[in-house]
Amino acid sequence: MTALLQMGIFGDTSSPFDEYIDKVTAEHLTTENWAMILDVCDKVNSDPRAPKNALLSIRKRTRLVAEKTRMMIQKWVENECKSDASLSLVASLYKNLVADGYSFSSNEPKKSSLTRDIQAEEEDALAKAIALSLQEADKAPKTSKLYQSLNTTYPSTNGTSN
């Protein structure tokens, strides 16, 4: 039954809120963006089916975060906890999670779509910055040389040019 809930009725787990929830909960955000959060709330309140779709997106996102957390716990246990006795609580947490049936294998591909989205946003921002810089360079007044060349001011006396 839980597999059906995770897959959706017909296997489609996409939701119109996926993009919004991903933006609001992006890893690179250091603080809450209340404008985006309230925008999502307004979208949820706009349609009677929207709360279910938003909840699907949130569950999908929390599943990803939980998976990443389990992977980090596993790495800590394998690398750090062996050499430091003060981290025994992390090792016992790992053992309890394994005993409870949690999986510590990654289901997501190495290159996630989130990474590609962030890279695409960075490339777009860079392209816009370059275009703006070129526009400003074209608008800047053209300056002429303030000083003449030494060759035209002081001709060579030995008959050769410099």
How far, in Å, are 79, 149, 150 from residue 153 at the CA level? Answer: 73, 6, 5
Closest CA to 40 of 51, 49, 48, 30: 51
Evaluate whether 126 touches 115 at the Cβ level (below 8 Å): no
Give the residue carrying structure tokens 């035209």.
152
DSSP summary character for residue 17: T
What does the pLDDT read at residue 150? 57
More confident position, 93 or 1: 93
Dihedrals φ, ψ of 9, to 5°?
-65, -45
* Cα 42 to chain centroid, rounded: 24
Q: Which residue in 59, 17, 62 sits closest to 40, CA to CA?
A: 17
Give the residue carrying structure tokens 């890279």: 119
Polymer length of the chain = 162
User: What value does the mean pLDDT take over residues 5-22?
Assistant: 70
pLDDT score of 12 more than 50: yes
User: In whole angstroms, what is the distance from residue 129 CA to residue 148 CA?
Assistant: 35
For residues 15-37, give the mean pLDDT.
89
**Digit-coded pLDDT (tens) for 39-91:** 999 999 999 999 999 999 999 889 888 898 999 999 989 888 888 888 889 88
Instruction: Examine the pLDDT at 162 and tell me if it is beyond 90.
Output: no
Question: pLDDT band at 27, cuts 50/70/90?
Answer: confident
Indicate the pTM of the whole model: 0.48
Lowest mean per-residue pLDDT among 1-5, 61-65, 95-99, 151-155: 1-5
The stretches of the chain forming alpha helices (DSSP H) are 2-7, 18-24, 34-45, 50-79, 88-99, 113-139, 150-153
Q: Which residue has the higher pLDDT, 9 or 134?
A: 134
Place of tokens 């489609």: 12
- What integer pLDDT is reported at residue 160 of this predicted model? 57
For residues 24 and 37, is the Cβ–Cβ distance under 8 A? yes
Which pLDDT belongs to residue 3? 43
Which of 88-97, 135-144, 152-161 has the least mean pLDDT?
A: 152-161
Nearest to 71 by CA among 45, 97, 33: 97
